[in-house]
Amino acid sequence: MHTVLNHPLLEHRLSLMRDIATPPKLFRELVNEITVFLAYEALGDIKMREIAIETPVAKTVGRRVDEPRIILVPILRAGMGMLDAMLHVLPYAKVGVLGMQRDETTAEPIPYYAKVPPAKNGEELAIVIDPMLATGGSASDAVAQLKKLGYKRIKFLNIISAPEGIAKFEKDHPDVGVFTAAKDERLNSHYYIVPGLGDAGDRIFGTL
């Protein structure tokens, strides 16, 4: 399932992100703000439990998150730009990381680092974060690694997707929900998303 968010405030931020003149500081802030939008949408079905509470006025029943183990998994390096916002929303979450480098000739992912705690009972919720879903190779490989570690509940959050990446990811992992802020036109001959926003990692870390 692929969910594309639709909101004027989100579109406003996306237009600023795409602008080549947007400096790294503002770009990072926009990544954080858009990530909160994505988290809000993606976590609508999170497990809850009822608890008794007492307000200054009366006793009542409230609801709190009842997810004993949530793992945030940024794909290095660009995914780190979304991590602070996710930890703001889910401060009790654990963090694992997956490092992947794209082969610039074939666009295939090359894994080079993995530090993710294995699932204990299959009830854990793993949330993969990466700003761009271009060819779909890195995202698909990341989810495949998580499944090998025993994760059964997985979501993938990204900011901009290409149709080619969506098609590959849904073919490889039809059981994983994908949440994106924008679905763009296509990939170019260099496997960059069009119109896109360039290289998200370079723009987050100012390494253009």
Of 100, 102, 99, 98, the C-alpha closest to 127 is 98
pLDDT digit string (tens) for 57-74?
999 999 999 887 999 999
pLDDT, residue 107, reads: 67
What is the number of other CB atoms lying within 10 angstroms of the CB of residue 45? 8
Tell me the catalytic residues: 102, 106, 199, 202
What mean pLDDT is predicted for residues 14-25?
95
State which CATH number among 3.40.50.2020, 3.90.330.10, 3.40.50.720, 1.20.58.100 fits the domain covering 2-205.
3.40.50.2020
Give dist(CA 199, CA 20) in Å, integer: 11
Give dist(CA 22, CA 160) in Å, integer: 17
Going from N- to C-terminal start, the domains of the chain cover 2-205
Give pTM, 2 decimals.
Answer: 0.92
pLDDT digit string (tens) for 94-140?
999 999 877 767 667 787 888 998 898 878 999 999 999 999 999 99
pLDDT digit string (tens) for 144-162?
999 999 999 999 999 999 9
User: What is the three-class DSSP state of 108?
Assistant: coil
Give percent of the chain above pLDDT 70: 98
